[in-house]
Structure 1
């Protein structure tokens, strides 16, 4: 009898732990409600991509040219939601800690434009630098890669 009670208490404690850990994780991540995220892919292979958001960038590459070591530069990649539903950018990651992105955290309505600003810090860098910025959103395909480039030189090499 005591073993059954102990097993029952352990099972309830474990179930409670799973339930609260999953709930707190979702709340902490700030996930969007499922009804605003659309996925046109189905198991049958039929696709309904007609009403999806479409992420269109004016350009996906920027060259800062020659910059002096230690200089901090930034560039804003302008984009438009050319689709028929709200665009949600869920994550923007970079290939290096020297490159920091800023992006809109709220949905972008169809036809609206916005920007993703990328800041590059050339401290302790030298030579040609090529960095990638991966944008994850609720589009199909769900990611796009932006690129920046710079040639980092010492001040005496600038002339």
Structure 2
């Protein structure tokens, strides 16, 4: 397995924003490549990878979505790829960046959480009547 730019340094992002990262990899082996699992060093990263096999001399992508809501300052993450590679069963990639606060106001984690919760609840309440997220007693609504 060969990975394009396995060690990356990203420009700073604002706290609370997300960063999408994609690693392009090539199967340089003689057999189809199967990725068994991809593990991130932080729970703030969502991972997506191909579940099928990647043919010889073919390529695929491992995509990551990093949520910076709980971090501030310099952060560094390691992603471990477990696959049927010829040399080692583990392959590790790395990326780092700085998470900065807004120069006008710094929200703490609780404020970011409550804002996201309000947005989610507003979507649930304004949605379909069967998906409002609450109910009322039927006999009290008729007066």
TM-score (norm 1): 0.63
Q: Who is 1:71 aligned against?
A: 17
Residues 8-60 of structure 1, C-alpha deviations (whole Å, 9 max, x = no match): xxxxxxxxxxxxxxxxxxxxxxxxxxxxxxxxxxxxxxxxxxxxxxx000110
Residues 85-138 of structure 1, C-alpha deviations (whole Å, 9 max, x = no match): 100000000111011211000000001011101111100210000011000000
Q: Who is 1:150 aligned against?
A: 97
The Cα of 1:62 is off from its aligned counterpart by 2.0
**Aligned structure 1 segments of 4 or more residues deviating by more than 3 angstroms:** none
Q: Does residue 56 in structure 1 map to residue 2 in structure 2?
A: yes
Q: Does residue 115 in structure 1 map to residue 61 in structure 2?
A: yes
TM-score (norm 2): 0.69
Q: Who is 1:45 aligned against?
A: none
Q: Who is 1:127 aligned against?
A: 73
Q: Who is 1:106 aligned against?
A: 52
Unaligned regions of 5+ residues in structure 1, if any?
1-54
Counterpart CA distance in 1 for 2:89 and 2:81 is: 8
Counterpart CA distance in 1 for 2:82 and 2:7 is: 17
Equivalenced residue count is 103
Query: What CA RMSD, in Å, does the superposition of the two structures yield over aligned residues?
Result: 1.1
Counterpart CA distance in 2 for 1:102 and 1:67 is: 22
One of 121, 136, 144 as aligned partner of 2:82: 136
8 Å CA contact 1:129–1:152 kept in 2: the answer is: yes
Q: Aligned to 1:65, what secondary structure does the other structure show?
A: coil
8 Å CA contact 1:99–1:131 kept in 2: the answer is: no
